[in-house]
Structure 1
């Protein structure tokens, strides 16, 4: 028969090992280019998880944006004429953002080049912002960028923020 103290120590070791194994892993941001070291839990087969958002917006910030679309042109109402996620190297890139009635604050767009494989060091292409004034109905705003000498082929992301908090993002590519 094992000594009671030895048995308690064994139970404590097993319990602490189980707690460590159950610890949640932190997510990395879109601009983090280094992968975390693999742990035994990482090597076990698991169902694929959805990609994490680039940030977790507060509920109020998330409600500030009702729609984001990308395209190569917008109409008089600032809406993208033909939504798309793949662009040519000479295209002007538009982001059309719809905000609900009475939305105020600052709306921002950060355009980032992610590289040809989407894993290269992210390089900020441009940032833009607009002051929002409360309106009685939903309003559509547009941001756009162009590069007359041509965009590098690869993967890109535009992050839309409200008062400095990223609330939505869209990935796209240039071919």
Structure 2
């Protein structure tokens, strides 16, 4: 019984090999048929049920069936290209307008200015990027984090995102810095100073 199943699988593989060669237009190369048959039994030995019951598919159909498998990789390129957001500028000030832009850019603030804004101008397209603003106080060699704020943005073109830090008391005099990151990578920074007039 095992011998007849193996003989049947070998015969099926041989016929399949001949059909494939015929479909490719290689009728004259009959010496290649045994090579196809000799490799097919190894496949039949690992999966005998498939070799005995699998339908014979012409090579042209096999090529057409392989094409849809390649299609899912094509939309991946536009998806990667659609995430092309970049930070154009970071502007500091003590007030913003309805357009979220800093009304008057400045890099020096007084200790009693309660709120400091950073307007981050971006351009490009994103379905959900993360902008982060990390505000630090520069005390000599060390930097102390004042605030670390993230916002998720979705845009298709130029946009402005506003960050702010507030202090109900007076700001300590000294040098400060805000570093803006896009999806975890630093893309801009702005230094500023707090001092009495």
- For this structure pair, what is the TM-score category when the shorter chain's length is used for normalisation? 0.5 to 0.7
**Cα deviation, residue 134, structure 1:** 2.5
**2:120 paired residue number:** 97
Inter-partner Cα distance in structure 2 for 1:120 and 1:87: 22
Inter-partner Cα distance in structure 2 for 1:129 and 1:87: 23
Matched residue SS, 1:96? strand
**Comparing both chains, which one has the higher relative contact order based on Cα–Cα distances under 8 Å and sequence gaps of 6 or more?**
1
Inter-partner Cα distance in structure 2 for 1:170 and 1:95: 9
Q: 1:62 to 1:68 in 2, by over 3 A?
A: farther
**1:123 paired residue number:** 144
Say whether 1:161 aligns with 2:178.
no
Q: Which runs of 4+ in 1 moved over 6 A?
A: none
Q: 1:64 aligns with which of 86, 105, 117?
A: 86
Per-residue Cα deviation, 1:38-78 (whole angstroms, up to 9, x for no partner): xxxxxxxxxxxxxxxxxxxxxxx996101110000100000
Q: 1:62 to 1:156 in 2, by over 3 A?
A: farther
TM-score by length of 2: 0.54
**Contact persistence 1:62–1:167 (CA under 8 A):** no
Unmatched runs of 5 consecutive residues or more in structure 2:
1-82
Inter-partner Cα distance in structure 1 for 2:84 and 2:95: 25
Inter-partner Cα distance in structure 2 for 1:62 and 1:84: 29
TM-score by length of 1: 0.60
Number of aligned residues = 111
Inter-partner Cα distance in structure 2 for 1:138 and 1:169: 19
Matched residue SS, 1:66? strand
Superposition RMSD in Å: 1.7
**1:112 paired residue number:** 136
Q: 1:138 aligns with which of 151, 158, 172?
A: 158
